[in-house]
Amino acid sequence: MAKSSYSKRAIAKKKEQKRKEKRKRREERRAEGPSTFSEMIAYVDEFGVITDTPPEPQVEEVDLESIEISTPKMEVQEEDELKGHVKFFNQSRGYGFIGDLLGRQEYFFHISNAPEDIAEGDLVAFELERGDKGINAINVTILSKA
């Protein structure tokens, strides 16, 4: 297999030729004239297709009475009606978490406030109490086993 080698002059000549070609292309681009910003803008329609025309604005009427300015208050269940499922329970450490049936909140509980045979997935009833690190579930009773 023949190996072709180039001298330093041939390599330098190639580099110079590439520089000239690059310079020529740059001059051609400059001669075409500068593109305006408006020519460079592209729009995307609701189907994801790129176009050069802006989409027509769609104005939707809004009933002013339907706008709520405040945040709606969370519905609070009565203390004795709180129910949920045991989402996590660590038997060796003696604690777990109960998720309410609405799926909004999780509450910590300790085995001292729950029956000994509680397990993950059980449907339970409980009460709430404010503890040092937040709201805790107390007086946990099992309604049905998982």
Domain boundaries, the chain: 79-144
Report, as ranges of residue numbers, the positions in the chain whose pLDDT lies below 70: 1-5, 33-34, 72-81
- Identify the pLDDT of residue 75: 57
Does domain 79-144 bear CATH number 1.50.10.10? no
Q: Does pTM surpass 0.75?
A: no
Concatenating the DSSP letter of every residue in 25-93 gives HHHHHHHH-PPPHHHH--EE-TTS-EESSPPPP------GGG---SPPPPPPPPGGG-EEEEEEEETTT
